[in-house]
Chains A and B, each alone.
Chain A
Amino acid sequence: MRKVYMDNVAATPLWPEVREAMLPFLGEVFGNPQSLHAWGDGARDALEQAREQVAALIGGTAEEIIFTSSGTEANNMAVKGLARAKADQGKHIVISAIEHFSIMNSARTLQKEGFEVSMVPVDGFGVVSPDEVLKHVRNDTVLVSIMHANGEVGTIEPVAEIAGRLGRDGPVLHTDAVASSGNIPVDVRELGVHALSLAGNQFNGPRGGAALWVKRGVRMLPLMDGGIQEGGRRPGTEDVPAIVGLGKAAEMAATTLTARMQKLSALRHSLIDGVLGKVEHSILTGHPLQRLPGYASFCIKFIEGESILMLLNSHGIAAASGSACTSRALKASHVLLAMGVDHEAAQGSMLFTLGIDTNQEDVDYVVEKLPQVVDRLRQMSPLYSKFLKEQRG
């Protein structure tokens, strides 16, 4: 049976070059970067090279990179650390309604500490409008955090425009660029942000290697107390293999970016056209054009996402869904609901995320199998039979 992996949002395969780069650090180069001897030197050189590589990917400087264990940690550190550092100037922060849980729940924690949180709504495409952001900013706003691209529908947000509107004297602006970094051009100076999160496992690096970029001069309190690693902002012995992998993945991402974007955009177009053409009562979610190259997301009416995933899996196809049943918490995706998708349609949400190994045959296979799966589930759906009866009058 053909195997088609279209769940790159959940995990990406490592570039072989990344694995090669990591291997010595799982073997002979085991030293602690903080040690003042030859073993330490080898590890420290690798750490600093990775810092350069990551900085180069996003147009920052190496000193501004703080390595973290995950995008979630980077987001926690940004939201809590940046807001807490400015608590004496104001206790209000602004986020969008479609942020990742690591932002949402960090904001909730700040609320318990006495911060007020405003949530900016999005339009039907999942776009955060700069006007809406501005409307929510007050004199005591100390932090605005708006994601660069959404990881459920792929919509790319107008972060640079938001930064421009907030102005030089505005609040600190953080962007969660975990979904976008390594997949589209990301340049911290062009975006005009003060802090940016990224994670290597979204661009074919290892899990455990992620980073927060914080502009020089911006104050941030650490999440953890400890020693002097990462300038004291992220103490704890460094995960050198993961960081080396992140660095190499950043380099690979930068050198392959243009070609990869072109290839993935074309494949994604083909997938979207195929699905919308062959599956009746399906809609594209997210912005039709301003979206991540490899993201094809849909709502398929009258059926439920988990059962779609299970049947696709039986055909060797991996995808994801934002339905209530697929979430551990059994809640439909807050992103889709914020976009105005109704609960019923959100249950049939599907997300196909294409990656470095995806080819046209994979797309054709999905376009062939998905309609069969949908048909089969609709045959047993009470919602579909109701719909058919109502149509007949």
Chain B
Amino acid sequence: MPVYSEKVMQHFMNPHNVGEIENADGVGEIGNPVCGDMMTFYIKVKDNRLEDVKYKTFGCGAAIAVSSIVSDMVKGKTLEEALTVTPAMVAKELEGLPKNKLHCSNLGAQALRKAIKNYALSHKVDMPGLTDTEEPEEDEHACET
């Protein structure tokens, strides 16, 4: 049996929304090459909605598929809706991830959250629960779980 679900393979082979947004409204970067995964999300916001979402990803098949599906899941959504995306939802949308790759779904959700926070702070938009809280330190052991 292959390691990855069909859905993961589809997104890995043909990832959606790859790229960078020039003059993005928000940018969120997470992970580091030591762990083997790194994602940078770019968002364009219009009327409180994610008008465009793009990303660049360094990492394994799961990391690339996660980036692609997260961009699909939140594009066109309001910022509040986008923030409700959890790693579990990402994994479910991909029809499951191998256990040792679940942290990749974390990275996707976190990178997006960081991009929205970056937008809110730079555009002085109050978002309770986001702009008024410290982000947890990046989990150094994420790559060992």
Contacts and interface: CB of A to CB of B under 8 A. Distances in A.
Contacts, number: 73
A241 to B, nearest CB: 27
A310 B145 CA distance: 22
A382 B15 contact: no
A304 B59 contact: yes
Contacts of A310: 12, 61
Interface stretch (B33-41, B117-125, B129-137): B33-41
Contact of B37 (A325, A326, A329): A325
B81 to A, nearest CB: 26
A119 B90 CA distance: 43
Given A324-B143, A347-B58, A382-B56, 14 more contacts: A304-B36, A304-B59, A306-B59, A306-B60, A307-B61, A307-B63, A307-B64, A310-B61, A314-B13, A323-B36, A326-B60, A380-B19, A380-B56, A380-B57
B52 interface: no
B100 interface: yes
B13 A324 contact: no
Interface string B22-58: 0000000100011111111000000000000000111
Given A330-B144, A331-B144, A382-B57, A324 B38 contact: no
15 contacts: A303-B58, A304-B58, A306-B61, A307-B63, A307-B64, A310-B12, A323-B36, A324-B34, A324-B35, A330-B143, A330-B144, A332-B34, A332-B36, A382-B40, A385-B56
A3 interface: no
Interface string A351-393: 0000000000000000000000000000111110100000000
B13 A330 contact: no
Contact of B60 (A314, A325, A331, A382): A325
Contacts of A328: 100
Nearest to B68: A380
Contacts of B12: 307, 310
Given A306-B60, A380-B57, A330 B100 contact: yes
Contacts of A302: 58
A374 B10 CA distance: 19
A303 B100 CA distance: 20
A108 to B, nearest CB: 18
Given A382-B40, A385-B56, A343 B33 contact: yes
Contacts of B58: 302-304, 347, 381-383
Contacts of B144: 329-331
Interface of B: 12-13, 15, 18-20, 29, 33-40, 56-64, 100, 143-145
A326 B101 CA distance: 10
A82 B51 CA distance: 67
A314 B10 CA distance: 12
Nearest to B59: A304
A316 to B, nearest CB: 14
B60 A304 contact: yes
B55 to A, nearest CB: 8
Nearest to B40: A382
A331 B18 CA distance: 27
A307 B62 CA distance: 9
A302, A310, A344 interface centre (most CB from chain B within 10 Å): A310
Contacts of B38: 382-383
A338 to B, nearest CB: 16
Interface of A: 302-304, 306-307, 310, 314, 323-326, 328-332, 343-344, 347, 379-383, 385
A382 B143 contact: no
Given A310-B12, A314-B13, A343-B33, A380 B64 contact: yes
Contacts of B40: 382
A338 B48 CA distance: 50
A382 B29 CA distance: 9
B22 to A, nearest CB: 12
B64 A383 contact: no
Given A307-B64, A310-B12, A328-B100, A381 B57 contact: yes
Nearest to B142: A330
Contacts of B59: 304, 306-307, 325
Nearest to A381: B58
B126 to A, nearest CB: 29
A344, A381, A382 interface centre (most CB from chain B within 10 Å): A382
A360 B36 CA distance: 33
B61 A347 contact: no
Nearest to A344: B33
A55 B132 CA distance: 73
A323, A324, A332, A380 interface centre (most CB from chain B within 10 Å): A380
B46 to A, nearest CB: 24
Contacts of A380: 15, 18-19, 56-57, 64
Nearest to A325: B60
Contacts of A306: 59-61
Given A328-B100, A331-B144, A344 B34 contact: yes
